[in-house]
Chain A
Amino acid sequence: MLKGGYMGKILRVNLTNQTYTEESTTEELARNFIGGAGFGIRFLFDEVPAGTDALGPNNKLIFAPGPLTGTSAPCASRMAVVAKSPLTGAVGMCTTGGYFPAELKFAGYDALIIEGKAERPLYLWINDGKVSFRRADKLWGTNTFDCQQLIKDELGDQNIRIACIGPAGELQSKIASIINERRAAGRKGLGAVMGAKNLKAIAVRGHKTVPVASENDYKQARSRMLKTMKESPVLYPAFANTGTPMVVEATWGLGIFPTRNWSATGEWDPVDKLGIKANDSRKIGKEHCYNCPVACSQLKLAREGIYTGSLSVPEFETIYAFGGQTGVGNLDSIIAADRLCDEMGMDSISTGVAIGFAMELYEKGIITKDDTDGVELNFGNHEAMFKLVSKIGYRQGFGALLADGVKDAAAKIGKNAEKYAMHVKGLELPGYDVRGAKAHGLNYATSYTGADHNRGYAFQEIFGIPEPETVDRFAYEGKGRLTKWNQDIRTATCDCPTMCAFLLDMAFPANAALNCADMLSSLTGLNFTPAEIEKIGERVNNLARAFNVREGFTRKDDNLPERILTEPLKEGGSKGQYISRAELDKMLDEYYYERGWTAEGIPTKQKLLDLGLENAAEELEKMGA
Chain B
Amino acid sequence: MISVKVKSIMDIADIFGCHEQVISLPEGSRLSSLLDVLEKKYGQPFSAIRDKIYMRKEENNSRKINLFLNGRNIIFLDGLETQLNDGDEVFFLSPVGGG
Contacts and interface: CB of A to CB of B under 8 A. Distances in A.
Given A253-B7, A464-B93, A233 B71 contact: no
A324 B68 CA distance: 23
Residue among B76, B95, B99 with most chain A CB within 10 A: B99
B68 A573 contact: yes
Interface string B74-94: 011000000000000101110
B61 interface: yes
Contacts of B93: 250, 253-254, 463-464
Interface stretch (A80-88, A153-161, A467-475, A582-590): A467-475
A464 B72 CA distance: 11
Interface in B1-40: 7-10, 13, 19-20
Contact of B98 (A253, A316, A467, A574): A316
A463 B71 contact: no
A233 B98 contact: no
Nearest to B58: A470
Given A249-B9, A472-B73, A472-B76, A462 B63 contact: no
A464 B97 CA distance: 10
Interface stretch (A136-144, A240-248, A368-376, A386-394): A240-248
Contacts of B66: 463-464
A573 B70 CA distance: 6
Contacts of A470: 57, 73, 75-76
A220 B61 CA distance: 26
Interface in A192-243: 232-235, 238-239, 243
B7 A573 contact: yes
Interface stretch (A479-487, A504-512, A559-567): A504-512
Interface string B45-60: 0000000001001000
A464 B76 CA distance: 12
Interface string A152-175: 000000000000000000000000
A250 B71 contact: no
A108 B93 CA distance: 46
Contact of B72 (A249, A467, A474): A474
A577 B71 contact: yes
A465 B17 CA distance: 26
Contacts of A575: 70-71
A436 B71 CA distance: 8
B95 A466 contact: no
Contacts of B89: 573
A502 B99 CA distance: 8
B99 A467 contact: no
Kindly state the interface size class of chain B when it binds its partner: 20 to 34
A453 interface: yes
Given A269-B20, A464-B54, A573-B89, A249 B98 contact: no
A570 to B, nearest CB: 13
A254 B68 contact: yes
Contact of B71 (A239, A457, A573): A573
A287 B7 CA distance: 32
A384 interface: no
B71 to A, nearest CB: 4
B44 interface: no
Contact of A233 (B19, B57, B63, B91): B63
A472 B66 CA distance: 12
A6 B50 CA distance: 49
Nearest to A475: B76
A247 B91 contact: no
Given A243-B98, A465-B63, A466-B61, A250 B68 contact: no
| Nearest 7 Cβ contacts at the A-B interface | A464-B66, A244-B98, A249-B9, A506-B97, A233-B63, A234-B97, A573-B71
Given A271-B19, A573-B91, 20 more contacts: A232-B63, A235-B97, A238-B95, A238-B97, A239-B98, A246-B9, A246-B96, A249-B10, A249-B13, A253-B92, A271-B9, A463-B93, A464-B93, A466-B54, A466-B57, A470-B57, A473-B71, A473-B73, A573-B70, A575-B70
Interface of A: 232-235, 238-239, 243-244, 246-247, 249-250, 252-255, 269, 271, 275-276, 296, 315-317, 431-432, 436, 453, 457, 459, 462-467, 470, 472-474, 502, 505-506, 509-510, 572-575, 577
26 contacts: A235-B97, A239-B97, A246-B97, A249-B13, A249-B19, A252-B9, A253-B7, A253-B68, A255-B71, A271-B9, A275-B19, A316-B98, A316-B99, A432-B99, A463-B63, A464-B54, A465-B62, A466-B62, A473-B73, A502-B98, A506-B98, A573-B89, A573-B91, A574-B71, A575-B71, A577-B71
